[in-house]
Amino acid sequence: MFSGHRLRDVEQPRALLDGDEEAVERVTPSEAQRLWFIKDCCGMVCAVITWFLVFYADYVVTFVMLLPSRSFWYAVINGVLFNSLAILALASHLRTMLTDPGAVPKGNATKEHMESLQLKPGAVVYKCPKCCSIKPERAHHCSICKRCIRKMDHHCPWVNNCVGESNQRFFVLFTMYIAVISGHALALCGFQFITCVQVQWTECSDFSPPVTMMLMIFLCMEGLLFLTFTAVMFSTQLHSICNDETVIERLKNEKPTWERQTRWAGLRSVFGGQPSLLWMSPFAGLKLPTFFPKRTWRGGAEFSV
């Protein structure tokens, strides 16, 4: 109990880290700008698979279907469009994976920090017993990230990160661009198949007919799977943003204790500012991260990690 404030564990009883001898991590402002990366084996494998499948689709589209095409402008227009969308998709994936989703500083449930909040006497403050942090409203603890995440929507292994307050925009862009290039790849496969049938597979590709067929079949399977998955995720994310309710809050059937935003207010809070083409760019607001932030530990010592 601090200065009349009540600290309540939200998951299981645990003594507050006040007065014990173990070091409590204090996060400095520079931590918010550091390169964020989750060292999870499953997530890293899924992220690598995602990149591999995008590069595979780009290879088949470029070298199997477009370069052998008789129409120069057909190849150029579709090649530029597909590769531009692929770059935007991979950039959105990187921004989602390497952006702090809104992690609450660890170990800030201390007497000094409580007093600095200047709360009213008798106010109840919730503490996460797993990461020993003061838990803001709508924050949830992620067992993989090992942090409480503000407005946590879910943890996605395909981006090896949580989707939360600070990176939801990039995840929405990632799902949108993957869905678009998947649909584009399927359309190109359909047109290529018709072309190959018309010329009896003799001039439609630089590869042999069996190899061409196998590459296109695998691309169609990949395109259908990715289009279905990302289209569902994209629509789910837009629904959550417009209703100001995360997936976790909906699954847990949590009653909103906050004032819900309107649809446009929710979109502006996620994408930033008034509607513009910057909403579609994963490069907007890109800043060089700090690789060696300083952290202070109880006792006043500073260390670089």
Beta bridge mates, 290: 34
Residue with token string 């300083």? 294
Spot the catalytic one: 156, 162, 189, 196.
Answer: 156
SS3 at position 167: coil
> Does residue 156 carry a catalytic annotation?
yes
**143-170 as b/e, with b when 16 or more CB fall inside 10 Å?**
eebebbbbbbbbbbbbbbbbbbbbbbbb
Measured CA to CA, the distance from residue 114 to residue 91 in angstroms comes to 39
Residue with token string 């670089």? 304
Do residues 168 and 65 lie in contact, with contact meaning Cβ atoms separated by under 8 Å? no
Q: At what angle do helices 72-98 and 41-59 cross, to 10 degrees?
A: 170
Measured CA to CA, the distance from residue 303 to residue 305 in angstroms comes to 6
- Could you count the other beta carbons within 10 Å of the beta carbon of residue 140? 22
**Catalytically active residues, by annotation:** 156
